[in-house]
Amino acid sequence: MKRESFEDEEVAKLMNETFVSIKVDKEERPDIDSVYMDIARSMSGRGGWPLTILMTPEKMPFYAATYIPKSGKRGMTGLMELIPKIRKLWENDRERLVEKGKTVVESLKKDELGMEKELDSSILDDAFDHLSMTFDDEYGGFGNDQKFPSPQNFLFLLRYSEKEEKADEIVHKTLREMRKGGIYDHLGYGFHRYSTDRRWKLPHFEKMLYDQAMILMAYTEAWLSNPDSLYSKTVEEVVAYVDRNLRSESGGFFSSEDAESSGKEGAYYTWRKEEIEDLLGKESDLFVDLFNVEDKGNFREEASNEKTGENVLLLEKTIEDFAVEKDISAEKLRDKVERMKNKLLDERLKREKPDVDNKILTDWNSLMVAALSRAGFVFDEERYIDMAEETLSFILDEMVKNGELHHASIESEVSVKGGLDDHSFLIWALLRLYQSAFKPEYLKRAIDLTDTMMEYFWDEEKGGFFISRTDDDELPVNKKDVRDGAYPSGNSIALFDLVKLNQITGDEKYSEAVEKMIESFSGKISQNPAQFTMSMTALQSWWAGGKEVMIVGNEDEEMLDVLREQFSPNTVVIVKDEENSDELDKLLGFTSSMTKVDGKTTAYICEDFTCREPVTDIDEFESRLVEKD
């Protein structure tokens, strides 16, 4: 619509004569996008982007649509015909339009009230059953059409796999298929936004920061479940991609890379077979076979489904399986493939690159901090922790103005006060970084920011968090959204935060808030729990309980190495040493009684804040960790 209509003088003139025209960046104002997308679904039965809303000066919507062409075509009314009709209605029947807008808004307000329902751990079974039923056994993922990564599903399933082995199989099948497919950029790394087909072959080429973060988290945790070198390599490559392509000089991460370059979607990423043959010479046959390059191309134009002559690089088999099939050394094949990929990458770098959206968003950057922190601890990679700390410093230094967290920074100009996602995601980042770097300042920041989140967004009457501040009446409806989308909802992460803070601190105010949230969202969640998998992950942790591990002493690496190798997501770790003991004791209190035994590094392993006798022997420590609750 931008090229076809908004930049067209004829359309622009008509629009500006009739409306106060406002174009909203949905990523800069996710609250506006969320509310009016619900309005569009309520009015027309469907949503999507671009989203077009017509509303009264009081922001009461009376017309909603997605794409509207300049002129009518294929049965669609165009802007040139629609706008005069709307103007006539406004002049002659304004009262009816205003009343329609009020009715829509009141309907949404009623929907926000929801219904309460008793929840127990059977809701986790319901979520798994639905995911299992929609799982694509042949190609992984869910459903048989377009596929989105939805990494929060994997975080839930990895935890549920303790009860049901198939959950583990679903995760590993999907992650391997994604990594082989065209949704992954085999040359420059990183994942594209979604696959247009069930086989993960043909992507929509945009790359989003939030996808890289959540996928990074999923591959890290999957590696703990099954230490496959494909997973650790994927982690390395995704980190390399965001560091090279999305990281700003200031330490924050840009939002995305566009799908288009040279006026064409995918032009930067696709290859004609003859291009590859010219670049690789005699070695091209091997590369063409491995990466499924076809004479007529394997990339189809999405609208016509016709082959374009272009190829998306994708693997049908892993390099190891391909090596067995061809009876060659896997190590030699990997080295050869890396050399060939580098030749193609060097050539690709000469092409016109996709634009980078240089918005730096607090919520998405916080997801990346959380993911880097998790990967840094699991793989004992200090560089990842350093990146996480640098990005966190950027957020705390640049995105906080006059004591208030903000949402977006564009060319160093900070705009829009932070919403729920910014606060809850940053708390998650702080807690995750605390569990990786063990600096009490991160825990204190998380506790303080949670107090702020409760003050600004908490629904005192019903529980749960509004997406905008409780004193903000800018939008006609203040939602409490808990359903996950392409990434987790602000409320689901807030629930996760509160569960972890309760486990770390023992403060009852967090447990009370958790119970209130469960009660508030029980009706919505019970309708289709598979749409709320990040909440399911939080509820798993809440109902299962977990261990609290306190390590006292400076020589803690041996015990931390044991913890790194275990998939124990319900375990929280506190490290107390000579440098941080005063600050930690002041912050948590109960740690003051936990000291070294016989001058040795000592571990206290507790459940529900009841601790067994301290342990200094590494074998005994490991044995106690794996004991079932």
pLDDT band, very low/low/confident/very high, at 225 (cuts 50, 70, 90): very high
Is 68 in contact with 46 (CB distance < 8 Å)?
A: no
Domain boundary among 350, 383, 416: 350
**526 and 613 both lie in a single domain:** no
Q: What is the pLDDT of residue 206?
A: 97
Tell me how many domains the chain contains. Answer: 4
Q: Do residues 355 and 258 lie in contact, with contact meaning Cβ atoms separated by under 8 Å?
A: yes
- Whether 463 shows a pLDDT value over 60: the answer reads yes
E strands, 430-582, are 547-552, 572-576
Residue 607: enclosing H or E segment and its boundaries?
Answer: strand 602-607
Q: Which residues contact 585 (CB under 8 A, 6 or more apart)?
A: 576, 591, 592
Q: Answer with the one of 325, 350, 375 that is the final residue of a domain.
A: 350
Q: How far apart are CA 196 and CA 484, in angstroms?
A: 20
Q: What integer best gives the mean pLDDT of the chain?
A: 93
> What is the pLDDT, as a whole number, of residue 112?
62
Distance of alpha carbon 362 from alpha carbon 368, whole angstroms: 10
Percent of the chain with pLDDT over 90: 77
For 88, which DSSP code? H
> Among 160-164, 263-267, 390-394, where is mean pLDDT lowest?
263-267
Under DSSP, the state recorded for 469 is -
Q: How far lies 187's CA from each of 190, 256, 269, 349, 471, in Å?
A: 9, 18, 9, 10, 48
3-state secondary structure of 401: strand
Same domain, 446 and 560: no
Structural domain boundaries enclosing 563: 547-626
Given a cut of 80, whether residue 629 has pLDDT beyond it is no
- Cα–Cα distance measured from residue 41 to residue 173, given in angstroms and rounded to the nearest whole number: 34
Question: 51: which 2 tokens?
Answer: 């989203």
Q: Which residue has the higher pLDDT, 151 or 84?
A: 151
Question: What pLDDT was estimated at residue 580?
Answer: 95
Q: Is the pLDDT of residue 258 over 70?
A: yes
How buried is residue 432: exposed, middle or buried, by Cβ count under 10 Å (0-12/13-18/19+)?
A: buried
* Residues contacting residue 248 through CB under 8 Å, at least 6 positions apart: 254, 358, 360
User: Which conformational region is residue 71 in: left (phi greater than 0), alpha (psi within -120 to 50 degrees), or beta?
Assistant: beta
User: Mutual orientation of helices 122-134 and 151-160 as an angle, nearest 10°?
Assistant: 120
CA-nearest of 365, 393, 141 to 256 is 365
Separation of alpha carbons 153 and 484, rounded Å: 10
> Could you tell me if 537 and 551 lie in one domain?
no
**230 pLDDT above the threshold of 90:** yes
Whether the pLDDT of residue 221 is over 90: the answer is: yes
Residues 540, 556: one domain? no
Q: What is the pTM of this model?
A: 0.95
Digit-coded pLDDT (tens) for 484-513: 999 999 999 999 999 999 999 999 999 999
Backbone angles phi, psi at 132, to 5 degrees: -65, -40
**Paired residues of 361 in beta bridges:** 408
pLDDT in tens, 96-117: 888 888 888 888 777 665 667 8
36 and 63 within one domain: yes
Q: Is residue 6 scored above 80 in pLDDT?
A: no
Q: Is the pLDDT of residue 385 over 60?
A: yes
Distances (CA, A) of 57 to 16, 97, 173: 15, 12, 52
How would you label 185-222 residue by residue, b for 16+ Cβ within 10 Å and e otherwise? bbbbbbbbbbbbbbbbbbbbbbbbbbbbbbbbbbbbbb
DSSP state, 2?
A: I
Same domain, 7 and 100: yes
pLDDT, mean of residues 266-282: 97
Q: Does 171 share its domain with 301?
A: no
Q: Which amino acid is at 150?
A: S
- Amino acid letter, 55: M
* Residue-level pLDDT at 39: 85
DSSP class per residue in 242-271: IIIIIB-TTS-B-SEE-SEETTEETTTT-B
**Under DSSP, is residue 219 helix (H, G, I), strand (E, B) or coil?**
helix
Same domain, 540 and 552: no
The rounded Cα 523 to chain-centroid distance in angstroms is 24
**What's the CATH number where 367 sits?**
1.50.10.10
Same domain, 383 and 252: yes
Peptide bond into 50 cis (omega under 30): yes
Cα–Cα distance for residue pair 600/381, rounded to 1 Å: 26
Q: Percent of the chain having pLDDT more than 70?
A: 98
**Cβ density class 537-559: b for 16+ within 10 Å, e for less:** bbbbbbeeebbbbbbbbeebeeb
* Residue 113, pLDDT score: 58
Buried b (16+ CB within 10 A) or exposed e, 293-311: beeebbbbeeeeeeebbbb
Are residues 449 and 499 part of one domain?
A: yes
pLDDT at res. 114? 61
- Residue 329 sits in the same domain as residue 444: no
- Among 77, 93, 113, the domain boundary falls at 113
Q: Tell whether 241 and 376 lie within a shared domain.
A: yes
CATH for 81: 3.40.30.10
Q: Nearest to residue 314, comparing CAs of 300, 328, 293?
A: 293
State the Cα–Cα distance between residues 70 and 357, nearest whole angstrom.
26
Percent helix, strand, coil in the chain (nearest 5)? 55, 10, 35
What pLDDT, in 10s, does the model give residues 314-368?
A: 999 999 999 999 899 999 999 999 999 999 999 999 999 999 999 999 999 999 9
Region 403-419 average pLDDT: 95
Residue with the larger pLDDT of the pair 74 and 14: 14
Q: Is residue 28 helix, strand or coil? A: coil
Cβ(423)–Cβ(446) under 8 Å? no
How far, in Å, are 239, 367, 433, 446 from residue 488 at the CA level? 20, 10, 19, 19
